């Protein structure tokens, strides 16, 4: 689903990305179903990108910066090459995203919601 990052002036065409996966509040999805349009960056809780051989720099540098500029609170980068890893980034104020390093095996978090993901089962 397209996400308007709201990085363009209001009178200019939108700045849109299509993350591999997004987590939004149900009200955002219902709004799009009812009214059409796209998801807005402030409605996104988590944006997730799955790294492919050609997207590594885009996912780790370009999209990381764009999603942080759009104030998406959480950005997860999943690398499916062995061993499968997940880099969980969270907004750290004016500095963009901070992260604790890539995790392999099991990813567990409580923010923005409680989840436990067996990363090895993704391949």
Instruction: Find the CATH number of the domain harbouring 30.
Output: 3.90.1570
Residue indicated by tokens 């709201």: 6
Place of tokens 């959480």: 74
Per the structure, the count of domains in the chain is 1
* Token pair recorded at residue 78: 């999943």
Three-class secondary structure assignment of 14-37: CCEECCCEEEECHHHHHHHHHHCC
pLDDT higher for 70 or 8?
70
| Global pTM value | 0.94
Average pLDDT of span 66-86: 97
How far is 8 from 61, CA to CA, in rounded Å?
19
- The whole-angstrom separation of Cα 36 and Cα 21 is 19
Give tens-digit pLDDT for 22-44. 999 999 999 999 999 999 999 99
> Domain range holding 7?
3-122
For residue 105 the two structure tokens come to 């095996």
Name residue, tokens 């209001």: 10
Residue 102 above 90 pLDDT? yes
């Amino acid at each position: 689903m397209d996400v308007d990052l709201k990085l363009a002036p209001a009178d200019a065409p939108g700045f849109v990305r299509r993350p591999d996966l997004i987590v939004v509040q149900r009200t955002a999805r219902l709004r799009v179903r009812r009214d059409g349009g796209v998801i807005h960056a402030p409605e996104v809780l988590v944006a997730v990108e799955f790294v492919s051989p050609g997207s590594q720099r885009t996912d780790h540098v370009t999209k990381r910066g764009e999603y942080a500029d759009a104030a998406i609170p959480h950005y997860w980068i999943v690398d499916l090459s062995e061993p499968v890893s997940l880099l969980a980034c969270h907004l750290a104020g004016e500095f963009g995203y901070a992260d604790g390093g890539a995790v392999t095996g099991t990813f567990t978090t409580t923010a923005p919601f409680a989840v436990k993901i067996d990363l090895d089962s993704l391949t």
